[in-house]
């Protein structure tokens, strides 16, 4: 399927979704958001894709933010509707059963940072720039930034970034836990694809059940979370994947998973 504002490719068992508006630094307008929504739905339903990588085209920007020119004349109602649209699509990414990695190749600001935070984790090049600079534009983050940022880096650091609108570099993003790794710009996609292929080589039922247990568990108290984990752990023993994985370990060979 062809899209106007994104590119969706498959490499082995990895889907690569590239936001493709380089002249606008990959800024998000309504059409781009709808393209992301459609592409993510395709990835979710594609049995040949086990892991999704999201990145930006060019060498300057992952996503520089929501498109300010597009938002300039919005009414309060239109702004709310745009926020709900973006939030719903980023929630679609966050809740999809397959792992999602953000490969951040430059500016990751505003809506771009919110997109990255909806992924399971983030890998940045040493050119990455991060922030929620919306207060400098007279608005708040609208696609989940006030909700995900404190969950990832803690309320104190999130408050400083949200209230000041400051932009931080990749090293600082790594220090506060916003990204998992920082690599040289020329090595970013090789690093991310290597990690994605490692995840894709594991038992995919168990990978997806790990994601389910983790995200459901962090929303409840620890006792309920442990019950969720026990229930999901038990489900694993009804799969061929568990039988093969444990048998391969005992036989000292590499497991061959079939997704069953």
Active site residues: 114, 134
Q: Which residues pair with 7 in a beta bridge?
A: 18
* DSSP secondary structure letter of residue 135: G
The b/e string for 220-243 (b: 16+ C-beta within 10 A; e otherwise) is: eeeeebeebbeebeeeeeebebbe
Residues 115 and 28: beta-carbon distance below 8 Å = yes
Best CA proximity match to 229, nearest among 206, 204, 247, 246: 206
Q: Please give the Cα distance from 29 to 72 (Å, whole number).
A: 12
């Amino acid at each position: 399927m062809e899209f106007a504002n994104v590119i969706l490719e498959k490499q082995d068992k990895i889907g690569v979704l590239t936001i493709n508006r380089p002249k606008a630094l990959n800024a998000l307008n309504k059409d781009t958001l709808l393209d992301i929504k459609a592409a993510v739905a395709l990835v979710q339903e594609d049995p040949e894709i086990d892991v999704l990588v999201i990145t930006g085209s060019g060498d300057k920007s992952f996503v520089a933010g929501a498109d300010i020119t597009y938002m300039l004349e919005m009414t309060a109602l239109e702004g709310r509707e745009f926020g709900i649209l973006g939030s719903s699509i980023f929630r679609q990414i966050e809740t999809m059963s397959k792992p999602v990695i953000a490969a951040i190749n430059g500016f990751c600001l505003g809506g771009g940072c919110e997109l990255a935070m909806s992924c399971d984790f983030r890998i940045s090049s040493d050119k990455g720039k991060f922030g929620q600079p919306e207060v400098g534009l007279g608005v708040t983050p609208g696609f989940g930034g006030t909700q995900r940022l404190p969950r990832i880096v803690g309320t104190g650091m999130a408050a400083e970034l949200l209230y000041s609108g400051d932009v931080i570099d990749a090293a600082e993003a790594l220090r506060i836990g916003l990204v998992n790794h920082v690599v040289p710009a020329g090595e970013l996609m090789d690093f991310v694809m290597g990690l994605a292929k490692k995840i894709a080589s594991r038992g995919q039922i168990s990978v997806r059940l790990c994601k389910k247990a983790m995200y459901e568990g962090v929303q409840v108290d620890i006792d309920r979370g442990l019950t969720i984990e026990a229930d999901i752990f038990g489900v694993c023993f009804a799969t061929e994947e568990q039988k093969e994985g444990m048998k391969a370990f005992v036989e000292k060979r590499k497991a061959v998973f079939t997704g069953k």
